[in-house]
Structure 1
Amino acid sequence: MREVLQCSKSQLNQMQKTYAPFTVTTPNGAIFRAKKNGITITAYRSGKVMFQGNNTTAESKIWQPSAISKEPTNKSTESAGLPADFANWSVIGSDEVGTGSYFGPLTVAAVYVDNSHLEQVRQLGIQDSKKVTDPEIIRMAKQLITFLPYHVVNLMPTKYNQLMQHYNQGQLKALCHNLALQTVLNKISPTKPDGILIDQFVAPATYYRYLKGQPNIISQNVYFKIKGEQAHLAVAAASIIARYVSLIAMDQLTEQAKITLPIGAGNAVDQIAAKLLREGHSLDQFAKLHFANTAKAKKLAQRYH
């Protein structure tokens, strides 16, 4: 059997990470090749991904909700894997910030946007939080939280580091998304959303595998979409609120450190982390210790002793 999907660049990147443990020799013209459960998966630079073997449908179906054959040409175009009118549904959206930043918390927000509030949200100029300035995020978030049911799971570094002793980061994100969604569902009960949209950070099958054993797993009418903020305003609102809470947390940590903590995980981060160590601070209260920056900072700190 053979199945072929046309995928976006971001999805190819996610596939490559997911199938990394199963990779084999990559043929010319391909990005990667993997063999998993008797199925060979080959991804090409053109965006085509070929699934070959027995029961390929089950494996390829994992990716179909977010696989795309072409980019949407306008807002009314059907989002890949979502119903044509999904943007007009009453939806709980969830998104997270902070996963790629050494300093600061992991922050996950879930927000319910009833279709009666869509225009009100739209008028605020909501978009992906990465594309707006901090003052705009603060302005929009303060308005959103006055009329939208929401919940934020904000794991400050100390708690984050404790949990990372038992989970990987993907598992931890899945747990936080599930908790945030469950809390919002409880807040709006007995109202039920038309759908739930999670800003996709891992294949759906992997997401649910991460949640295995949890007492309450939200799975009814759940959709996954890379760049989910473009598919529904609920995810965009979640992105804004998560960023707002993260900004407040970073201000608190900066005050404790008495030095501005940069975002990201680049060289500037290593320098600041080393400075904190030289001043006798524990990085546990400021940073995600499993990042490679920790070892780099320790080397830098020792160099100046």
Structure 2
Amino acid sequence: MLLGGIDEAGRGSVIGPLVIAGISFDPTGIDSLRDNGITDSKKLTTLKRETLYTKILQTAVSIFVCRISPVTIDNYVNRKKLNVLESRYMTIIADNIRADKIIIDACDVKPDRFKQSILKNLTNKSVKIYCFHKADTDNLIVSAASIMAKVTRDREIRKIEKILCKKIGSGYPSDPSTKLFLRNHLFDNDNKNYIRFSWSPVKKLIDEGAQTKLF
């Protein structure tokens, strides 16, 4: 029996990709992870996540990770279909990891509705799908997937900083470094592929810039 989990990192960010990770383990692999302090990635330090990331890579039966660009995210957000975007990519991941059962951290307020959106497009009809809220905290496998997603996204953010040669922080709108970056560099041409222009904090800055030009 292979048990899989799927989770995302970066849904609320204004900079960088949304990363969705799927992972599966056999019973031996699950047992080896139980005493390693694996939990929701948001509850772990950066160093602990990196350490567990290596352990998870060594133990997993299969891993599949998707990085979704800000441009693609904007296209879905502008049509108010962010949950549809996540559903589609989680379906792709479910079809590309080896698992008999897959537990997914549901982003929809109605987990069963989210489950049905995945099942209707799933190619592998033999796999059993379960969707729950807070699965990244309550289930070891989904916690492992959340760590894979978070570490991958953090590394993507660092790559963007190297490309732009600017400090952008975590990419989340509450981060002071991210706020400063957006306020000073929002309209730089080099940044357009990395910023989510459909997000309200970015729209607000755009509006403020337009108003400034009028006076």
State the TM bucket, normalised to the shorter chain.
0.7 to 0.9
Matched, 1:130 2:42: yes
Give the structure 2 partner of residue 158 of structure 1: 71
Q: What's the Cα RMSD here?
A: 2.7
Give the structure 1 partner of residue 144 of structure 2: 237
8 A Cα contact 1:141 1:241, kept in partner: yes
8 A Cα contact 1:271 1:300, kept in partner: no
Matched, 1:277 2:186: yes
Which one has a larger percent helix, Structure 1 or Structure 2?
A: 2
Equivalent pairs counted in the alignment come to: 209
State the secondary structure of the residue aligned to 2:186: helix
Once the 2 structures are TM-superposed, how far is the Cα of residue 126 of structure 1 from its aligned partner?
A: 1.1
Match of 1:216 among 101, 123, 126: 123
State the secondary structure of the residue aligned to 2:58: coil
Matched, 1:292 2:204: no
State the secondary structure of the residue aligned to 1:180: helix
Change over 3 Å in CA distance of 1:218–1:245 after alignment to 2: farther
Give the structure 2 partner of residue 196 of structure 1: 102
Match of 2:28 among 113, 116, 122: 116
Structure 1 unaligned segments of length 5 or more: list them: 1-88, 186-191
- C-alpha separation in 2, matches of 1:243 and 1:267: 16
For 1:273, the aligned partner's letter is L
- C-alpha separation in 2, matches of 1:99 and 1:145: 23
8 A Cα contact 1:100 1:264, kept in partner: yes
Pairing of 1:59-70 with structure 2 (within 5 A) = none
8 A Cα contact 1:198 1:225, kept in partner: yes
8 A Cα contact 1:113 1:233, kept in partner: no
State the secondary structure of the residue aligned to 2:189: coil
For 2:85, the aligned partner's letter is L
| Greater Cα radius of gyration, structure 1 or 2 | 1
State the secondary structure of the residue aligned to 1:207: helix
Once the 2 structures are TM-superposed, how far is the Cα of residue 172 of structure 1 from its aligned partner?
A: 0.5
Give the structure 1 partner of residue 174 of structure 2: 266
Change over 3 Å in CA distance of 1:296–1:283 after alignment to 2: farther
Change over 3 Å in CA distance of 1:271–1:300 after alignment to 2: farther
Structure 2 unaligned segments of length 5 or more: list them: none
8 A Cα contact 1:273 1:283, kept in partner: no
Give the structure 2 partner of residue 141 of structure 1: 53
